[in-house]
Structure 1
Amino acid sequence: MCGRYYRRSDKQRIAEAFHLGTLDDIPLEAAPSYNIAPTTMQPAIRNNRDTGEREMVAMRWGMVPNFAKSLADFKGFSTINAKAETLLSKPLWRVPFHRRRCLIPADGFYEWKRLDEKTKQPYAFALRSGETFAFGGVWDAWKDPATEDWLQSFSIITTDPNELTATVHDRMPVILKPSDYDRWLDRADAEQPPTDLLRPYVAAEMTAHQVDPRVGSVSNNELGLCAPWTCPPNSR
């Protein structure tokens, strides 16, 4: 599961990292955020249906499928993550995976390691290079029948852990290499989705460290949350 991530990059840095071109027509602030939680609006990158060029749009984290009658349909049912193993078998994910894939810009993600029955220690995972990267995601658009407003939303795909993340959690988000972005976003061949990219990222190219347990509260959101943290003596 990936239930929290962080992004140091603002709109300009995202545009540069993902070769988006001009930002004049992007209605999105995309300020850095160090404790990104589900249901918030976040930048996502996809190919424009008409031009085929990459575009950045604001989407809600937690996919609402186009067949939903209301947001209440998914109360108590989490769609923040989509398991790689069920993308082709479950109707909820099948069409988005074939036709609506996206990139979710990030600089790192958090996972919690259970220490005992009452205590979990959060860890931050990032690329050793320190570069902004992308989770593989799927998205959909839902029209609210009451207001006729459109809501675009996404899910982050998860897969088996690599050797590093396995020390903390049994899942990890799919992280894509820049060389695979074009193929991931391509809408031309909807019959052959890139299932070979749904693999664990190379552990040797990642880092991990403990972070302040305050990251567990979504009300905390400052730079220090993703910095290395040492547990104070006798705090457990």
Structure 2
Amino acid sequence: MCGRYTLFDNTNSEEIRQILNILQKKQGGLIRTGEIFPTNKAPALVLENNKVQPELITWGFPSFQGKGVIINARGETLQEKKMFRTPFISGRCVIPSTGFYEWSHDSQKQKYLFNVPATSALYMAGLYARFDSEYRFVIVTVAANADMQPIHNRMPLVLTHDGVSRWIRNQEQAVRLLTGALPALVRAAAE
């Protein structure tokens, strides 16, 4: 679930363009945009010096089985699973995007792009932590809303603009967001 997402730099979203511009200045170069895959470095919004700031972070916690990465964390078990308990307390982040992909589970395996109507910015709740010398993030998933259910039973925890700060700054609010109503999504067939 949620194994790829998009971050287009030609978006209509001033917020996304601003995040990319800040990171380009920090990094001294271009930031990967387009389709984002696990293990790519991608923008994440984190709390730094009591201010929400974009940082480049690698997608995927290392797997304790030795190969591959863990890219998602189930919202229902964040406070129970050892791997996610501490990041949920002190490492909540938000992944800015322009949409996420999911594939149908029928014989055609159609790829769909999901995004939020009336805006080109889609924010996904995440967790981040330091592994060795590198920060890494996972995307938090929850039960699918009615727009997503025909394709998959899980989806990223999509946050409204107001929910971004609430998720990052306040653990009690984050717990509420895990079980709150999800924004409507629009679906389009993708190639």
TM-score (structure 1 length as normaliser): 0.71
Report runs of 4+ in structure 1 exceeding 4 Å deviation: 20-25
Q: Out of 137, 142, 151, which is 1:168 matched to?
A: 151
- The whole-number CA distance in structure 1 between the counterparts of 2:177 and 2:43 is 21
2:114: which partner in 1?
Answer: 125
Q: Give per-residue Cα distances to partners, 1:18-46, cap 9 Å, x unaligned.
A: 6x99668521632421x211011111110
Q: Residue 97 of structure 1: SS of its match in structure 2?
A: helix
- The whole-number CA distance in structure 2 between the counterparts of 1:21 and 1:43 is 11
1:211 aligns with 2:180: no
Q: Give per-residue Cα distances to partners, 1:175-229, cap 9 Å, x unaligned.
A: 111112222111xx66x462111245233xx2101111xxxxxxxxxxxxxxxxx
- The whole-number CA distance in structure 2 between the counterparts of 1:93 and 1:31 is 26
1:30 aligns with 2:31: yes
* Structure 1: tracts of 5 or more residues without a match: 65-70, 144-149, 213-236
- The whole-number CA distance in structure 1 between the counterparts of 2:22 and 2:139 is 26
When the two chains are superposed, the root-mean-square deviation of aligned CA atoms in Å is 2.6
Q: Out of 129, 134, 139, which is 2:123 matched to?
A: 134
Name the structure with the higher strand share.
2
1:157 aligns with 2:140: yes
* Structure 2: tracts of 5 or more residues without a match: none
Q: Which has the larger radius of gyration?
A: 1
Query: In 1, are the aligned partners of 2:23 and 2:56 still within 8 Å (CA)?
Result: no
Q: CA deviation at 1:15?
A: 5.8
TM-score (structure 2 length as normaliser): 0.86
- The whole-number CA distance in structure 1 between the counterparts of 2:21 and 2:31 is 16
